[in-house]
Structure 1
Amino acid sequence: MKALVLSGGAGTRLRPITHTSAKQLVPVANKPVLFYGLESIAAAGITEVGIIVGDTAREIREAVGDGSRFGLDVTYIPQEAPLGLAHAVLIAREFLGEDDFVMYLGDNFIVGGITDLVEEFRASRPDAQILLTKVPDPRAFGVAELDVDGRVARLEEKPADPRSDLALVGVYLFTPAIHAAVRAVKPSGRGELEITHALQWLIDARATVKSTVISGYWKDTGNVADMLEVNRSVLELIDPLDEGSVDARTEIIGRVRIGRGAAVRGSRIVGPAVIGAGTVVENSYIGPSTSIADNCRVTDSEIEYSIVLSGSSLHGVGRVEASLIGRDVEITPAPHIPAAHRLVLGDHSKVQISA
């Protein structure tokens, strides 16, 4: 069995971060989202992985390399433009051959991995298997409608009027039957070859499309709010570790990981939180659900429920919350501007000015 990992999207919902960085490499608990997926694939016993890459191919290649650090053998498959999930399967035909495969969206996050799912697929081997989860607003997802027996009856891509609240999770399992389906479908109104259309083609052809409704944690990390929530959930699972230097004036509360060479002085850190290698925290407060990457500097500042990427600094900042801060960012207080009022008043005026 092989894996096909999609890492070619533009990440428009994470701009401006993704103007200069691949969305799959934005870190969660100081580790790129993509790495969690690759680790899950390796844990499921899959070693041959094809990674679909686009405009950010160079960054993805530099981060992942040949895959050996994950126990994987990686092949890179260029995609000229993000033309849909079914298009990714189409252009990966030579790599996939006649093998079964799991398709994993590189910006998705599933707590607990995919090992059980892969084993279930191998045991029953339907033509296709999809994961579903209930969402409050399914209009932003592919949506599945099940029949009275729980079988997949209909699939729609981002419907304006969803027939159910069951959204497709970004992990799919296929036999080679999917190749005929992706060749048969036409581009949607968005100009993309939709995997939901290919799955519907299989359903209409009486193929076996199995679904599994998951109740565990899943997130599409395509926007800032979801990225921060995934970061929070992962930090809840970390074990405390101190590989840096923490002085006697510092108070550490809860699960906190401090990286090698980091220095924390005169500060208060309330976990769960991670402080990257080489980072300096001085006279500051780091609150829960905060990840600060390597070689950052936080002085005389407060930050909570946020992600700070490498090389950034906060100095003299009263409070930062629910923020995603890119690489090599400098945050400082605005210069003080004296308050003043400019008035032109007629005779006998009465004016009240707040102090």
Structure 2
Amino acid sequence: MSIQAVILAGGEGKRIHPLGVNKPKAMFELLGKPLIQLVVENLAEAGITDLIIITGPNQEQIQAHFGDGGNFGVKIQYAYQAEPLGQANAVQQAEGLVRTHFFVLNANDVFEPRLLQEVMNRAQAGGANLALVGRKVSEPWRFGVMRFDSSGRLVGVIEKPPRGQEPSDVAVVGVYYFSPDIFQCIRDTPQGQTDDQFERAYQLLIDRGQAVHVEYEGLFESYKFPWNLLTINDLLLKQKIQGRQISPTAKISELAVIGDNVVIEDNVRVFEHAVIRGPAYIGAGSVIGNGSMVWGGCSFGPGCVVGFGSEIKHSIFGRNVWTHRNYVGDSIISDNCSFGAGTITANFRFDEQPIGVNVGEQRLSTGTDKFGVIMAEGCRTGCNSVLGPGIKVGPNSIVGPGVTLLHDLPPNKVALPSQ
């Protein structure tokens, strides 16, 4: 049976602010590739090459990157979700392009390709019109949780049940397999006041006894908040980088130290006494300067410069990020940012409590006691500035020399030292 896939890429990305201001959420790059490209590659590896990408406003970058998909070994068509009216509405936009059973996936989820084959095998063996993927979790009250009858048959999904009242510890993972019947189910399900139309629509297929579930224990991570990127990066580094992979065009000093599980792309230069401890990915044309150190799991986009004496630990750099005598730890730095000499990103609290980050009107815990800065595109820092843990810097903003920044800086603003 020929299978299609619908990739949902039209979300607004409010929870990842400020990273999604100038770049679609799905186009954030890790290991030299946008997240959505990793999803496309997983589908192609599973033999699913007929794809539909749902985009939204200001997401032309996605279509510009993929075109018709020919360069990626797939065929891609596009549908457009004009307003953010939820997951069910996004899926509906693909109805005119879907001809057969199909997957629905989020553009920014990371998983193993074998998951897709396992779902297809299970669904086709059971003649199902719906297959849900479940994963055992330690805090099921935070998720949609599967409910089973006494025989182990899937009979429903309870969204974020009260703690202690969960019907199981198996949470729904965002990989779905449908027949085209789901479109009529969506039409039969009113939108309502809560954002659960999608779940209520596929419950109709469960009620008809047409659903199966697949329990999955492999790699899976969703990019919902900025700090999820560090976890995703760790997983990808572990999964995709084995041994040293050094381009023949890279120039590496004999006095540099390159550890195991390191990728160094074309035209990278690594100078004397620099240290790169794996796992690490160094993008094309980057420079790792004298006496600098890269360690703890780093991913750099192309054109980055780690200047003399800098230490970069467990961080993600976009394209063309420049540092000079800096410490950057557990941080996410987007494209075209530069750090003045002596800038430090603090990543640890005196009380050793988990780092919090402002998300909309809420203060959310990152769940870790080591987390640095979230910096959007085009930012600069002056010499000897300090950025506190969990601070967000909006695009095209400047942290002046000598400033200790302990609050978020909105887009296009300048923080100057007090006079």
Partner of 1:302: 311
Question: How far apart are 1:92 and its partner, in Å?
Answer: 1.3
Matched-pair contact (CA < 8 Å) for 1:157–1:194: no
Q: CA deviation at 1:159?
A: 4.1
Pairing of 1:12-161 with structure 2 (within 5 A): 12-97=14-99, 99-113=100-114, 114-161=116-163
**Residues in 2 aligned to 1:139 and 1:329: alpha-carbon distance in whole angstroms:** 39
After alignment, is 171-180 or 261-270 more displaced?
Answer: 171-180
In structure 2, do the counterparts of structure 1 residues 126 and 115 end up closer, same or farther at CA, with 3 Å as the change threshold? same
| CA shift for structure 1 position 303 | 0.9
Which whole-Å CA distance do the structure 2 matches of 1:320 and 1:131 have between them?
38
**Residue matched to 2:335:** 327
User: Which blocks of at least 5 consecutive residues in structure 2 are unaligned?
Assistant: 344-381, 385-400, 403-419
Is the alpha carbon distance of 1:335 and 1:73 closer, same or farther for their aligned partners in structure 2, counting shifts above 3 Å? closer
Distance 1:207 1:164 in 2: 19
Q: Secondary structure at the match of 2:118?
A: helix
Question: Which residue of the other structure, out of 10, 16, 38, is the alignment partner of 2:12?
Answer: 10
Q: Which residue of 1 aligns with 2:187?
A: 183
Q: Alpha carbon RMSD of aligned pairs, Å?
A: 1.9
After TM superposition, give the deviation of residue 218 of structure 1 in Å: 0.7
Structure 1 residue 200: deviation in Å? 1.3
- The whole-number CA distance in structure 1 between the counterparts of 2:94 and 2:196 is 14
Aligned mates of 1:22, 1:165 — CA distance in 2 = 33
C-alpha distance 49-322 of structure 1, shift in aligned 2 (>3 A): same
| Structure 2 residue corresponding to 1:315, chosen from 318, 321, 324 | 324
Query: Is the CA contact 2:276–2:293 (under 8 Å) kept in the aligned structure 1?
Result: yes
- 1:272 paired residue among 274, 279, 297: 279
Is the Cα contact below 8 Å between 1:186 and 1:193 reproduced in 2?
A: no
Task: Compute the displacement of 1:119 (Å).
Answer: 3.3
Question: Cα distance, 1:224 vs. partner?
Answer: 2.6
Equivalent residue of 2:76, what SS?
A: strand
TM-score with structure 2 setting the length: 0.75
Are 1:173 and 2:182 matched, yes or no? Answer: no
Alignment check: 8 A CA contact 2:7 2:51 kept? yes
- 1:257 & 1:164 partners in 2: Cα distance? 41
Secondary structure of 1:18's partner?
coil
User: Aligned partners of 2:162, 2:193: CA distance in 1, in Å?
Assistant: 13
1:135 Cα deviation after fit: 2.6
Tell which structure's C-alpha radius of gyration is larger. 1
Identity of matched residues, %: 29
In 1, Cα distance between the equivalents of 2:215 and 2:152?
Answer: 10
Contact 1:265 1:282 in 2 (8 A): yes
Alpha-carbon distance in 2 for matches of 1:89, 1:145: 24
- Range moving further from structure 2, 64-73 or 130-139: 130-139
Q: Secondary structure at the match of 1:21?
A: coil
Q: Deviations over 1:148-199 (max 9, x none)?
A: 2222222133445544332211110011221221111122433x46321112
Aligned 8 A contact 1:28 1:231 in 2? yes
The answer (yes or no) to whether the contact 1:83–1:193 under 8 Å persists in 2 is: no
Q: 1:278-332 CA distances to partner (integer Å, 9 max, x unpaired)?
A: 0111021000310011011111211111110001111111x22211110001122
What letter matches 2:168 in structure 1? S
TM-superposed CA distance for 1:64, in Å, is 1.6
Q: Would the aligned equivalents of 2:295 and 2:313 in 1 still touch at CA under 8 Å?
A: yes
The answer to whether the aligner puts 1:196 opposite 2:199 as a matched pair is yes
Residue-pair matches, total: 334
The one-character-per-residue Cα deviations of 1:105-147 (angstroms, maximum 9, x if unpaired) are 1111112442332233333330100101123334443322222
In 2, the alpha carbon distance for the partners of 1:64 and 1:165 equals: 38
Task: Provide the secondary structure at the position in 1 that maps to 2:133.
Answer: strand
Residue identity in the other structure for 1:230: I
SS in 2 for 1:46: coil
Give the aligned residue type for 1:307: I
Secondary structure in 2 matching 1:144: strand
Per the alignment, in what secondary structure is the counterpart of residue 69 of structure 1? helix
Distance 1:121 1:69, change over 3 A: farther
Note if contact 2:19-2:226 (Cα within 8 Å) is conserved in structure 1. Answer: no
How far, CA to CA, are the matches of 1:56 and 1:164 in structure 2? 40
Return the alpha-carbon distance in structure 2 between the equivalents of residues 188 and 110 of structure 1.
Answer: 32
1:17 aligns to what SS in structure 2? coil
* Structure 1 residues 78 and 139: alpha-carbon distance in aligned structure 2, compared to 1, 3 A threshold: farther
Cα pair 2:31 2:281 within 8 Å, conserved:
yes
CA distance in 1, matches of 2:33, 2:77: 22
Structure 1 CA distance for aligned equivalents of residues 161 and 9 of structure 2 = 24
Mean Cα displacement is larger for which, 70-79 or 11-20? Answer: 11-20
